[in-house]
Structure 1
Amino acid sequence: MIPGLTDDAARECLARVPYNAFTALFSVCKLWRQELRDPTFHRFRKSTGIAQPVVVLVQPYATYYTCAGLMLYRLVMFEPATGVWSSLPPCPNLIYGLPHSCRLATVGTKLFVVGGWKIDTCLTTDEVHVYDFVSGEWRRGSPLPSPLRSSFACAVTHDSEKGCGTMYVAGGHDASANSLRSALAYDVAGDSWKPLPDMARKSFDCRGVILRGKFLVLHGNLAEAFDAAAGSWGPVEEFVPLGEELPTMCIAGWDGSIYRCAGGEVMVQLDGGVWATVAELPGEMRVPLHAVAWEGKLMVMGLGMRNSAFVASILDIKATTTMTTPASASWRNVEVPPEYQWDVEVTCCLVI
């Protein structure tokens, strides 16, 4: 791969190149392209601690000029390791920005933008757009089957050995704003969709997470889980006490636990469905709205105390568990440049 070096030595060199230079490496030669595409290469980067998390957010950036009040949306990246904020290259097929109420998912080095409704037509779309962080290119994925939907639950199971996974979609609104019970599964490697059994109840403005291998759809204080091995949905169960909604949810990948923000605290669900306080939210955060997790870290975003500005902080979960009280949690404030101090519609994270 590199003249004068063994393949192992060449792989060590390539693995140490920052991910944002992968597009340049990808264009060098066929062997480097094959290496960058190989899941083994990315597992090696992660095993050596070279890989870094990248948080991806959907944020507005302008008002749609023909319809005051509607916003155009873009993809924004935040690198926790460096503190750098930037915008992803726009999708050439989305000249009016991302669909509203779309969903994001990541598998390996790919980012999926699914569903939602397009601002130029005000119609629900079947489009799936895929961004490859290795090649730096966009492509179209297999269209979302009917009924088309927005504001739905979405989550992905990963196969780290093969570098692929399965994306699950459930609930949401159809084109006529009707709530849905239907669900779908998307095979990332095969670029194909298949229908799943309907849920027991209709769910809209819902959230999807993967918990112990099952796809959980969260709506209000209730949850319904799909077991892929059994091919069926479990019973609808109370997930949090009645009257407590789920404003912020995510899975912390390093331990498989589910976290939420409630009452000014970060909480984790223990065995038996019991919720325990992990940390108090930072004092400058008035309203937590979104959260995303990666190994040992939890990033919470929301409205601040001053003029309801966008603020963000990162919780070191591993360090926090050694503290004596939740009030002494180890938070790091995130500096957000003015051009990225916008509300967040949806977010996800990948490690690359």
Structure 2
Amino acid sequence: MALIPGLPDDIARECLIRVPYAGFSTVASTCKGWKAEIELPQFRSHRKSAGHSQVILVMAQTVLDPARSIGFAKLCHVPVYRLTTFEPVSGSWSELPPPPGFCGGFPMFCQLAAAGSDLVVVGGLDPVSWEASSSVYIYSFITATWRRGADMPGRPRSFFGCASDGDRVVLVAGGHDNEKNALRSAVAYHVERDEWAALPDMSRERDECKGIFHGSKFHVISGYGTAMQGKFEKSSEAFDTATWQWGPVREDALMASTCPRTCVDGDVDDHLYMCRDGDVLALRGSTWRVKAKIPGGVANPSHVTKWQGKLLVIGSARAGEPLKAYVLETRTCTWTNVELPQKFS
């Protein structure tokens, strides 16, 4: 059966690749043929090569829920995690609906990874019990629906490094268990198969590490061992998905022993970016250099994301103040202010 009656399928595909992502769920529910077409990896590749793909940034944000409070005289409101989306081209902000039954918000400190047209939400702390969760939830941007994935295997872990190859596999490493023991173990999740596989252990325990996928390798940056509790390392190690092996530890991956939270994947020349002491730093080869000064309004960064030669930095001048957002054009090192609606600030 033709995708669109009366038109060759090639022309019909040209029509479908021009549908904005917000209309995918409508397309998918219109007929089975359209749904099958837009779920194909080839559809995503064609859409991207034709210049019709859209960049969508997703981040976990906390909001205070007045209905839930703790502490003396119930004065301390409990933070609730929500997933916020930002479309850089249109400048629009929105909020993803939670999976069914998530009345208390998403797991706190959950990790997010993109896999094809899916968003994978891994682990975090249960918002009611505060215990580490091994849960996996997948949001399809095609059907605008959630589905439950297979739980992360092994001991429950939190504050782990997590990254995706951008296509089908999400990788997890380090973190700590319920006894606060830092972990060396690592696992990989194949989204389409809904299967987990064990990776070889890392050379070191790495609690609160940062996971980044760069150059076909899963880089696990910094973190600390059980005995060091909060004393971050400068080192990193990388897992090669082709050879299924960890490479040697790079002792001086970072300039200083610091939390790697703001580290993100770099561009062609710059391997990594990170924000530190009011600067955006870029790693080229084995040398860190200052790329740009961070605007004062976001001197205390809470979220950093990179895409297509641009760096989004969200933060505040000081802790506790309303959030602001700026985008750095990494080629020209120029900043652009991003309007941040009050609901998301």
After TM superposition, the score normalised by the length of structure 2 is 0.89
- Match for residue 335 of structure 2 among 327, 331, 336: 331
Contact 1:254/1:295 (8 A) holds in 2: no
Opposite residue 296 of structure 1, the aligned amino acid is G
- Distance in 2, Cα, partners of 1:95 & 1:38: 33
| SS at 1:35 equivalent | helix
The Cα shift of 1:234 comes to 2.4
Task: State whether structure 2 residue 341 is matched by structure 1 residue 340.
Answer: no
The Cα shift of 1:304 comes to 2.8
The Cα shift of 1:71 comes to 1.2
The Cα shift of 1:247 comes to 4.3
User: What's 1:258 paired with?
Assistant: 272
**Higher mean C-alpha displacement, 300-309 vs 112-121:** 300-309
What does 1:127-138 align with in structure 2 at a 5 Å threshold?
Answer: 127-138=135-146
Please, which runs of 5 or more residues in structure 2 have no aligned partner? Answer: 71-75, 223-231
- Distance in 2, Cα, partners of 1:17 & 1:197: 42
Contact 1:254/1:296 (8 A) holds in 2: no
Determine what percentage of the aligned residue pairs are the same residue: 39
The Cα shift of 1:127 comes to 0.9
Opposite residue 37 of structure 2, the aligned amino acid is E
What does 1:156-175 align with in structure 2 at a 5 Å threshold?
Answer: 156-158=164-166, 164-175=167-178
- Distance in 2, Cα, partners of 1:9 & 1:288: 46
* Deviation digits for residues 227-282 of structure 1 (CA, Å, limit 9, x no counterpart): 223322223222123345534111146767311122322222112x1123322222
User: What's 2:182 paired with?
Assistant: 179
What does 1:51-62 align with in structure 2 at a 5 Å threshold?
Answer: 51-62=53-64
How many residues align structurally? 326
- Distance in 2, Cα, partners of 1:282 & 1:305: 12
Task: State whether structure 2 residue 80 is matched by structure 1 residue 72.
Answer: yes
| SS at 2:168 equivalent | strand
**Residues 256/18 of structure 1: CA separation in 2 closer, same or farther (3 Å cut):** farther
User: What's 2:253 paired with?
Assistant: 239
Opposite residue 187 of structure 1, the aligned amino acid is H
Greater RCO (Cα-Cα under 8 Å, separation 6 or more): 1
- Distance in 2, Cα, partners of 1:227 & 1:5: 45
| SS at 1:32 equivalent | helix
* Alignment RMSD (CA, Å): 2.0
- Distance in 2, Cα, partners of 1:261 & 1:308: 19
- Distance in 2, Cα, partners of 1:195 & 1:267: 33
* Deviation digits for residues 142-164 of structure 1 (CA, Å, limit 9, x no counterpart): 11111111110001113xxxxx4
The Cα shift of 1:288 comes to 2.2
User: What's 1:114 paired with?
Assistant: 122
* Deviation digits for residues 119-174 of structure 1 (CA, Å, limit 9, x no counterpart): 1222211210000010011000011111111110001113xxxxx42211011121
Contact 1:252/1:297 (8 A) holds in 2: no
User: What's 1:323 paired with?
Assistant: none
- Distance in 2, Cα, partners of 1:274 & 1:254: 15
- Match for residue 300 of structure 1 among 313, 324, 333: 313
